[in-house]
Amino acid sequence: MKLIAVIGAGTMGNGIAHTFAQNGFTVKLIDVSEKALDKGMATIFANLDRMVSKGSITEEDKFKTLNNIITYTDIEDGVVGVDLVIEAATENLELKLNIFRQLNEVCSHNTIFATNTSSISITQIGAVVAHPERVIGMHFMNPVPLMPLVEVIRGNKTSDEVTKIIMTLAEKLGKTPVEVNDFPGFVTNRILMPMINESIETLYNKVAGVYEIDTVMKLGMGHPMGPLQLADFIGLDVCLAILNVMHDGFKNPKYTPCPLLVDMVNTGKLGVKSGEGFYDYSESKKAAKVAKQFN
């Protein structure tokens, strides 16, 4: 398995492409938007430069990694001959189902289909392809090149063979794969999102301010990043989408998104990606000031 396609050049997609390319795989990075591809490749370049400056890779390693990535704006062209497709599109069920329907039409029956979804049912995604036994969840953490965990999620029909291949593949990337079963939110977000949501509720109820809540969780609980800052980095729209999936899946009110989170998403305050969330990232000086507080 040496030829990989990654669908989606956003934060997770470009990170996944970077990680595979740095480990010697040929990667086809696919996005319908040329602008998104250019932005994704610029991010990879900047991240590789940062690694060179820290001495973790050489200039030669950087250019080898970049040369391992080919960009496409057409899915059908991009997935020709690949061994594995990893979908890393927006956390939207219908969008993902449409992508997998298209993959089912154009890929060989031997191609493994993985999704980087952080909450959506692998079984439900697998139901739209002819061979659901080859569909699996491969949930990377952000930032992908640095975070060691890959949550490997088996759908109800995912085969033992495919699971073993993906577990081994994650290890080849220098990651630690953990196999989990297919429930809304899996393990990571079933535990993480209620904590983030409760932190937002704490702010909403005026128990404490943003900095105070994050500082309590950092210094008192040993978290490397406060939950509100983490929500900003994940994307508040992503947090809301995951909570909605869990609320719909479990029918449990404890997963009901806080009204403040809903309001922030509706007004376009999505966190780092939009320049404003619980913190203001709109100006480099302000972003630097925020970052300094957490170093």
* Binding site listing for NAD(+): 8-13, 31, 91, 96, 118, 142, 273
Structure tokens at 274: 């939009």
Structure tokens at 96: 């993902």
Instruction: Please confirm, yes or no, whether 151 is among the known catalytic residues.
Output: yes
CA 186/CA 130 separation, integer angstroms: 24
List, in sequence order, the alpha helices (H) in 146-209.
160-172, 188-204
Catalytic pick from 121, 139, 274, 276? 139
Catalytic pick from 47, 116, 151, 199? 151
CA 129/CA 278 separation, integer angstroms: 40
How many residues are given for the chain?
295
DSSP H or E segment with residue 248: helix 236-250
In this structure, is the dihedral angle defined by the CA atoms of residues 12, 18, 24 and 25, taken in order, positive or negative? positive
Catalytic pick from 14, 68, 119, 189? 189
DSSP class of residue 268 equals T
Catalytic pick from 14, 47, 68, 118? 118
Helix axes 236-250, 259-266, angle to 10 degrees: 130
CA 97/CA 100 separation, integer angstroms: 5
Provide the annotated binding site. Answer: 8-13, 31, 91, 96, 118, 142, 273
DSSP H or E segment with residue 96: helix 93-106
Q: For the sheet containing 176-181, what is the strand order? A: 69-72, 26-30, 3-7, 84-87, 112-115, 135-140, 149-154, 176-181
Instruction: Please confirm, yes or no, whether 189 is among the known catalytic residues.
Output: yes
Q: How many CB atoms lie within 10 A of CB 12?
A: 25
Instruction: Please confirm, yes or no, whether 121 is among the known catalytic residues.
Output: no
Instruction: Please confirm, yes or no, whether 247 is among the known catalytic residues.
Output: no
Active site residues: 118, 139, 151, 189
